[in-house]
Structures are given as C-alpha cells and as structure tokens.
Structure 1
Amino acid sequence: MAAPYRGIRCETHLPDRLALRMLVQAFRPELMDRLVDEAERKERRSRLLPARVMMYFTLAMWLFETSSYEEVLAKLTGGLPEFFEEAGDLASAAAITRARRRLGVEPLKALCGHLAASAEPEASPADGGTARAAGRVLAFESVALEAPDTPANRVAFGAPDGDCRHLNVWLTSLTDCRTRVVVASAIASGADHGAESLLVRCPPGLIGAGTLVVGDEETIPSNLWHALAEAGADQVWQLGEHAQLPAARGLPDGSYLSAPVGGHRGTGPRRETVVRVVPWNGTGRPGARRAEEGGRRDRLVTSILDDDAVPADVIAARYARAGAGRAGVRQFTGQLDGQRVFLRSKSPELVQQEIYALLCTYHAVRNLVSPNYADVRLYE
C-alpha cells in the first residue's frame, strides 16, 4: 500500500501494517484517550495531529527507526487509515515536533505505569503485600542510549565523552523474568544515578524477602546492592572480568566467599561486604569457562552465602533460567540497529518521551523477541 505524503511515496508493506496493528492491539485507542485525558494533554481544538495519533507516532518511531518523521507518519496513516483518518497529510517535521511537545512526556510515562501495574500480582492486606515479592525474579538492566548533543540535553544529561556528537542517557530497569514486563524504570545521566533513582521509584512491596534480583553488569552499583540486601532480596550477578574478587574461604561445592574490592568509579559491594562467588561456564551448571571458548565473564556473585541450603549448582541453574542479559530491554535495543541506539530528540522532555515510548514498544513485542519463561519454575 502506497501512502502519498508531502510528495513522498512511502510504501507501507504487509510487515509494516502487521507491526502497526500489533501496536493497536497492545494499546487500544480507548486506553490511549484515557491516558491523554488524565494527563490533561487533550487538544482543545481540531488539529491535523491530535494527541492520540501522536501517542501511536512515538511508538511507531521505534518500529521505523531509520525513517524520517514524515515517513513514519505516512506509514502510520497509510497502514491504518481507519484509525488515523483524522491525521492530516501535510504535516512537516517541524509540525510533528510541535505536536510531540504538546503531547509531552506524561501520557507515555503513564502508559508504562499502566503496563507495570497490569502485571502485578494481587496482594492481600493480611500478608502486608509480601505476596508481590515472594518468589519473584527480577532482572536488572542498564542501557546507554545516545541523545543529540544540544545545550538543553547537556544541561539535563551531561557532556558527551571525547569528540562524540552524542551524549549518553541511561535507562535502568527491573524486568519480571516470567512475564518480561518492565516493572520499574528510571532515566538518568549515568548508570549509577539510574540505579539510585530506580530504587526510589520502585512500587511499594515490589522487592522484599523471597525476591531474587539477577543482573549482567560490568560492576554492581554499590547503592543498589546494599538497598536490595536491606530489603531482604537475594541477588545473583554476572560480573565483568575486571571485577576483583579475591578468595577468602573456599566452600565444598566449588564456590568461595570473598570480601570484594569495589569496582571502578567506586561501584560494587563495599570491601567489608562478604559475597559468595560461583564459577560460571555460561550454562546452568557451575564451572569456569575456558579461555579458548572465548569466555569473558566466568563468575557469578551472590548474596546467598549458605552453601548447604543453596549449593552452587542451584545458584547457576537459577541464574540460567532467569535469562539475565537476554531478558528484556537490552536485548530489544540490541536488535534495533546494532549495539548503539540513537535518540532523535533535542530536548530533555522529548528524550524522556522517546525513551518511555521505547519501553512501551518493547512491551508490545516482548514475547516475540525474548524467550518465554512463563512455565519455568525459577525456585525449586
């Protein structure tokens, strides 16, 4: 189907139309209208680019990330004319940017919150909300997204490194390993700051005794480790090869206790914190990966110190089942266009809008790009 748009013959092929219909199925128009109304972003007069159209446009930007604004809108209106007949066909890129500003960030942020809430298990007053945390496995992820180097973005997110024309904006998230739903997220100028903001924004009762948090990071944010420990959550992390984890005492199952030296930039558990290190071969069984196999990370670090109650092979199996590193947003962004993900937005508010749209688009396709672990028992 060809959609004429400002002189552009933009072909909306069957895969494009199917992808767009997937968005509409995941996010019904009535839901979009309600979130726009609650955020008080409903247009007050008839416009070529009403708020509902712009909600779907921000999502479609991630489906067609290499297309221009005009081409994305052409595919949207051409692929689903019955849903977007009110959208005009003469909007320029500048007009689309103005419409994005009118929409703002709150409706997309509210949509992320709606998705997270819809995945929450019910908690009864009798258990004090502990049912939400017990047995839950969450994957921590941090993803660097490159935003345009504009004065406004520099103020909000810091200067870029070296001669790079883009600056990094960090998205940190916690993803439920069963449903692959992002249950908490934060946007910050650095991964460490993002982890700190993430903890503040976590819904009450999300993390507690019986929760297992897994991660695959170069270093563990120290504030995150200790906050999770204080909440009673167990942790299993796969660390980078440069993490200093000297052995303090060996254990019969092949793991050992360590008082680690903090990672670079002061991250990682503090020196006085005792952790347990499990050799890891990239499978569900413990054991160091041989150098000739190309292994870069060969250790799991956990807060579970009792080797009698939870042996090393159980630690390795739980981590493998959780699928950390291939659980959610990081895998999705890695499939977009290589390992570098570029944002289009030149202002901090639209950067945030674009990132929340990324999270929502991931939700729509998560079962297609990530393994389904719904029937896997992560705890024996």
Structure 2
Amino acid sequence: MAGLTREKRTADDRLPDRVMVGLLAKTFPPTLVDAVVKEAGVGEQRTRVLPAGLTVYFTLALWVWARAGYDAVLGRLLDGLAWIRADWGGKTVPTTGAIAKARARLGWQVMEALFGEVAGPVGDQGTPGAFWRDRRVCSVDGLAVDVPDTTANDEAFCRPDPRRPPQVRVIALAECATGAVIDAVVEGDRSAAHRRAVQLADSVDENTLLLAGRSFAGAEVWSSLTERGLWLVWRTDSAAGPPVEVLDDGTYLADLWTGPTMAGTPVRVRVVEYTVEGEEGEDPESFTLITSLTDPDKAPAIELAQLYARRWRIRESISVIKDKRAGEPDLRSKSPEVVYQETWALLCVYQAIRDLVWAAVTGVGLDASRISLKPWRGGSC
C-alpha cells in the first residue's frame, strides 16, 4: 500500500498475533498458570531460559501458529506477552533443542489441570438452546488425532489402519448450545467409547439430557446413565429390536439387550426413525434414535429429532484450530508424554475460543451455536 511505512506494516502484521496472545492470557491469566504449575510440582528450582509458566503459554501457542517452527512460535509469543510479564519481554529465543527440553520438563499433567480449571458449562436458562424441558442439553463425542509416526508413539498409541500414522483419542462431553467442553478423556488405546461416556457423565448432574452418536450405544452404559437420572437421546446403527409396542405417534418401544444372545434383563427404549432430505445432489439420510423418554406427549418425536440435529460434534468444533498441511500429522510431538501435553493444550485453546464466542453473544440474544469460525490460519512465520 502506497505511503505505508515499514513500521506500520509490521505493527499491522503483528496485531492478530497480539490479539490471539491476549485471548490466551484472558482465559489463562498468569496467576492461574502460576498456581497450576505450582500445584503440579513442575516449577523450576533455578532460573531457566524457559520457565515453566512461559512453557505453558508456548505449548498453547503451538496451536495458534500451528504451521510455524518452535523458534518462530516463541518469538511471536514473547512479543505478545511482553505487556503481561515484563521479565519475559526481553528474553532471547533459545534453540529448538532447549525448547523441546523445556516441554519435556513441563510434562502433560499441568496442561490437563489447566484445562480442568476452565472446563465446564456456561449457559443459563436464558441461553438459546441450552435447556430442553428444564434439562441442560449436552453431547458426548470422540475424535482421533494423528500423531508423528515414531517408535515411541507407535508403541503408546493405536494404529487402526496400517497405512495411517498412530492416533491419540479424545472423548469429550460438551454443552451443545455454547460448545463449552465440560470434561474430556485423552487416551492412547481404543477403549470402548461407551465406557468413557459413563466416566464423563460424572461431571454432570441428573438435570442433563445427553446426546450421543452411534459409537456410544450399549445396554450396560444405558442402564448406568439412566439410573443416575440422565435423559438419553442417542443414535444407533439399527433398531434396538422388534417393536414391543407401537405408539400413537408412529414411534415404538423395543428392548435393548446386554449381549448378542439376549441374555439377562433387557433395557426398554423408545425408537424414533426419520429421514432428512439432503441438499441438492445429495441423497437423503436416515436416522434411528433410541431414547429413554418413552412418553410421546412429554417428548414429541419432532422435538427429539431437532435436538439431535443440534448435537455438538468434536471433529467440527476442533477443526477451526487443527489446521495442518495435507499429509502432515495433526500433532508435532514425537514422544507420548508430549503428545498428551499437546492434546490437552488443544482442548485448552478450543475452550479459550469458546470463551471468546460466549463473551461476544452474552447480553445480545445471539445463539452461540450459530456462530461459525473459519479455520485459524496462523501462517508459517
């Protein structure tokens, strides 16, 4: 642009960086980071080039500039953090090896603890779509994240396809209306997802309606969750069983069994079947939902279908951050410990973005779930 000085262009180039660093500092203020570092016991005993608190912010910033190298990420981070911590502003960017050692010293538990400090629902009774029949509407969903194909990662993480790199799994429970994550599990194996749903449900009370996809349906987990008082609306690949009773609205009751031989005590569910017309050129999609809400008058089928359409999906939500070049793994960490660290940092950054969205819609009557974000292009620095 004619007449624009080099200094002005540089300031303009750095402004988005500083906004993103400011977002991280707002969601994770230095006092919180320092407290979590102290509680995790990873604070340094002597002065280091990269203190633990700064390493926490660096690990978060790896997702802000997902395509950049270590030194470039730290350089931009220090520019943005100078106004928060004066003692960090004059630091020299160390070598990549020194940065890697600092991440290894930090470990992953501190990032999990940091996520735990900011996780949780944020919607209230006035939040559009947050509640249905006085129940908070939540969803559980899973995501597989590619990690670098190293010997250590191959031994620690599952590889469902020999042609693909190893993967770490994230299973998360979120509030559908706001996208805020309430709790999450990060693991290396492919443990049955429905068992993780039971574990995550400990983070909500009985005033919850829980939506889930096809990976989570199962009689045992169903019984466990309904006994806690949760209402369930889950998708399944096929009907639970032959109709036991056809209801007036065309839905029907069926039995969900604990095993393939129909042994034990069945679980009675209501089955809702419907088809959604596709966009132009797309085939229609058929849905089969099973629900613990067996009374059509109290839970009309059309409302259940509309609820399921608003189900929070982790893959779509995380995609605004997880922006890598084609063929690259989603994570850059070459050892399992740091893979876990980086994955928890991904959830932290996602929560910071949801915090920003929530702040934008609060008080103006907007539906947070209707706000979409384009993938963040952090550039290669």
Question: Normalised by the size of structure 2, how large is the TM-score?
Answer: 0.76
Q: Does 1:177 align with 2:176?
A: yes
Q: Shift of residue 145 of structure 1? A: 0.7
RMSD across aligned positions (CA)? 3.8
Distance 1:113 1:221, change over 3 A: farther
Distance 1:65 1:38, change over 3 A: same
CA contact (8 A) 1:247 1:256 kept: no
SS across alignment from 2:168: strand
Of stretches 134-143 and 82-91 in structure 1, the one that deviates more from structure 2 is 82-91
CA contact (8 A) 1:280 1:289 kept: no
Q: Shift of residue 309 of structure 1? A: 2.8
User: Residue 252 of structure 1 aligns with which residue?
Assistant: 248
The gaps in structure 2 that reach 5 residues or longer are 125-133, 368-381
After TM superposition, the structure 1 = structure 2 runs for residues 3-14 of structure 1, keeping only pairs within 5 Å, are 13-14=14-15
- The one-letter amino acid of 1:207's match is D
> How far apart, in 1, do the equivalents of 2:13 and 2:107 lie?
27
Q: Does 1:91 align with 2:94?
A: yes
- The one-letter amino acid of 1:185's match is A
SS across alignment from 2:253: strand
Distance 1:325 1:293, change over 3 A: farther
Q: Shift of residue 25 of structure 1? A: 1.2
Q: Shift of residue 365 of structure 1? A: 0.4
Q: Does 1:349 align with 2:337?
A: yes
User: Residue 285 of structure 2 aligns with which residue?
Assistant: 296
> How far apart, in 1, do the equivalents of 2:72 and 2:20 lie?
15
> How far apart, in 2, do the equivalents of 1:315 and 1:373 lie?
26
Distance 1:296 1:70, change over 3 A: farther
CA contact (8 A) 1:156 1:348 kept: yes
> How far apart, in 1, do the equivalents of 2:194 and 2:26 lie?
32
Q: Does 1:38 align with 2:24?
A: no
Q: Shift of residue 33 of structure 1? A: 0.7
The gaps in structure 1 that reach 5 residues or longer are 3-8, 122-133, 283-287
After TM superposition, the structure 1 = structure 2 runs for residues 6-25 of structure 1, keeping only pairs within 5 Å, are 13-25=14-26
> How far apart, in 2, do the equivalents of 1:364 and 1:220 lie?
31
Q: Shift of residue 229 of structure 1? A: 2.1
CA contact (8 A) 2:232 2:293 kept: yes
Q: Shift of residue 62 of structure 1? A: 1.1
After TM superposition, the structure 1 = structure 2 runs for residues 212-291 of structure 1, keeping only pairs within 5 Å, are 212-218=209-215, 220=217, 223-239=220-236, 242-245=237-240, 247-248=242-243, 249-259=245-255, 272-281=266-275
> How far apart, in 1, do the equivalents of 2:257 and 2:156 lie?
32
Distance 1:89 1:325, change over 3 A: same
SS across alignment from 1:149: coil
> How far apart, in 1, do the equivalents of 2:189 and 2:250 lie?
36
Distance 1:364 1:218, change over 3 A: same
User: Residue 374 of structure 2 aligns with which residue?
Assistant: none
User: Residue 372 of structure 2 aligns with which residue?
Assistant: none
Q: Does 1:110 align with 2:113?
A: yes
In the TM superposition, what whole-angstrom CA distance separates every residue of 1:52-74 from its partner, at most 9, and x where no partner exists? 11111111111111111122112
- The one-letter amino acid of 2:252's match is Y
> How far apart, in 2, do the equivalents of 1:238 and 1:203 lie?
21
CA contact (8 A) 1:186 1:198 kept: no
Q: Shift of residue 144 of structure 1? A: 0.7
User: Residue 79 of structure 1 aligns with which residue?
Assistant: 80
Q: Does 1:306 align with 2:282?
A: no
User: Residue 330 of structure 1 aligns with which residue?
Assistant: 315
> How far apart, in 2, do the equivalents of 1:194 and 1:68 lie?
34
User: Residue 205 of structure 2 aligns with which residue?
Assistant: 207
In the TM superposition, what whole-angstrom CA distance separates every residue of 1:139-174 from its partner, at most 9, and x where no partner exists? 10101111123333233323452222x112110011
> How far apart, in 1, do the equivalents of 2:345 and 2:218 lie?
26
Q: Shift of residue 226 of structure 1? A: 3.2
- The one-letter amino acid of 1:215's match is A
SS across alignment from 1:89: coil
User: Residue 318 of structure 1 aligns with which residue?
Assistant: 307
CA contact (8 A) 1:185 1:198 kept: no
Q: Shift of residue 175 of structure 1? A: 0.8
> How far apart, in 2, do the equivalents of 1:136 and 1:373 lie?
18
Q: Shift of residue 334 of structure 1? A: 2.1
Q: Shift of residue 262 of structure 1? A: 8.9
User: Residue 146 of structure 1 aligns with which residue?
Assistant: 146
SS across alignment from 2:285: coil
Question: Normalised by the size of structure 1, how large is the TM-score?
Answer: 0.76
SS across alignment from 1:25: helix
> How far apart, in 2, do the equivalents of 1:194 and 1:247 lie?
26
CA contact (8 A) 2:120 2:180 kept: no
Distance 1:109 1:279, change over 3 A: same
> How far apart, in 1, do the equivalents of 2:34 and 2:278 lie?
52
Greater relative contact order structure (CA < 8 Å, 6+ sep): 2
